[in-house]
Amino acid sequence: MSHLPSPQPQSTDRADSRVGVVLAWLAILGVVGFVAVRVWLMSHDPRMEEAGGDVTLQMASRTAVGYHVLTQSLGKDAVPPGRLRETTASVVAQAHTPRQQLQAVAVIGEILGAPAALDELERARGQVHSKELRANADALQTIYTSGADKITCDQATDLTKNLGWPGQLATTFGAPDDNPVRSKVLRAALRALTAAIGIEILIGLGLLAGLALLTIAIIRGIDGKLRPAYRPTTTPCAKSPAIPATRA
């Protein structure tokens, strides 16, 4: 009498495989959930919101001033005043804190002139309450009333320290473009403008490339030349061994 072959432990292997898949998905969902909660908490942190707003305002300010410097090199009548006011309005719209509003004053003074800067400074003074920012507002008042050479070295240092690049821009108001400090400030603005233009060009090229690939995929799909990379494989069923007949 021959012995029957022992059955393969397929059910156990399948159960282990399913447990592994479930654990993998739980790990993925846990990581995604942790990242989502972390991002949500950081986005609602006032310090992070102010830091993000500062970066956005700095880029907008440098781009606006770089645009102004570029148009000035083409001639004073190259851009209508209305377009310049729109440029400064986009900067003011992103100034939400008192510090950012003072930064916007420096940008307005550079692009639209001292009278417009003083008007914006008058509106911003109502939101300025800290001692340091009030001193910065007074320094800006002196710059756009009497000139940047009328402020002290300590006031200029405080403007650069508290307002960053816009503060440094304000301290060079009215200085010739070949002034070393002003030349450095304007070069930073032109670099920001170049970077902004480059990013827009890359985005445009990416959209065009995506549209071209989509068009090619649709045409090849209509012609039947686009075949899916995934091809399911069929596993032949294993034949069960023949059971020999037994005699009584």
- Side chain identity at residue 164, one-letter code: G
Cα–Cα dist 171/136, whole Å: 11
Residue 15 has pLDDT above 70, yes or no: no
Work out the average pLDDT over 75-86. Answer: 73
Cα–Cα dist 192/170, whole Å: 18
- Model confidence over 140-196: pLDDT tens digits? 999 999 999 999 999 999 999 999 999 999 999 989 988 999 999 999 999 999 998
SS3 (DSSP) at 107: helix
- 113 within domain boundaries: yes
Among all chains, which residue has been given the structure tokens 């001193």? 135
Question: How much is the pLDDT for 237?
Answer: 56
Question: How much is the pLDDT for 107?
Answer: 94
Question: What is the count of structural domains for the chain?
Answer: 1
Scored b (16 or more CB within 10 A) or e, 62-95 reads bbbbbbbbebeeeeeeebeeeebeebbeebbebb
Work out the average pLDDT over 66-77. Answer: 80
- Under 8 Å CB-to-CB from 182, ≥6 apart: which residues? 172, 175, 176
Who wins on pLDDT, 139 or 10? Answer: 139
- Judge whether 170 and 148 are in contact, CB under 8 Å: yes
pLDDT band, very low/low/confident/very high, at 16 (cuts 50, 70, 90): low
pLDDT band, very low/low/confident/very high, at 57 (cuts 50, 70, 90): confident
Residue 127 has pLDDT above 60, yes or no: yes
Can you read off the two tokens belonging to residue 181? 């400090």
Domain extent, residue 112, equals 43-192
- 67 within domain boundaries: yes
- 38 within domain boundaries: no
- Judge whether 53 and 94 are in contact, CB under 8 Å: yes
Nearest to 192 by CA among 90, 66, 88, 54: 66
Report the length, in residues, of the chain: 248
Question: How much is the pLDDT for 87?
Answer: 85
Who wins on pLDDT, 132 or 239? Answer: 132
- 54 within domain boundaries: yes
Who wins on pLDDT, 6 or 228? Answer: 228
Question: How much is the pLDDT for 72?
Answer: 82
Can you read off the two tokens belonging to residue 165? 């690049």
Question: How much is the pLDDT for 24?
Answer: 83
- 8 within domain boundaries: no
- Model confidence over 194-220: pLDDT tens digits? 998 999 999 999 999 999 998 988 888
Radius of gyration of the chain (CA): 34
Among all chains, which residue has been given the structure tokens 């200085």? 175
- 185 within domain boundaries: yes
- Judge whether 200 and 207 are in contact, CB under 8 Å: no
- Judge whether 162 and 189 are in contact, CB under 8 Å: no
Residue 9 has pLDDT above 60, yes or no: no
Cα–Cα dist 182/175, whole Å: 7
30-34, 72-76, 138-142: the lowest-pLDDT one: 72-76
- 94 within domain boundaries: yes
- 36 within domain boundaries: no
> What's the chain's average pLDDT?
82
Question: How much is the pLDDT for 187?
Answer: 92
Question: How much is the pLDDT for 224?
Answer: 75
pLDDT band, very low/low/confident/very high, at 114 (cuts 50, 70, 90): very high
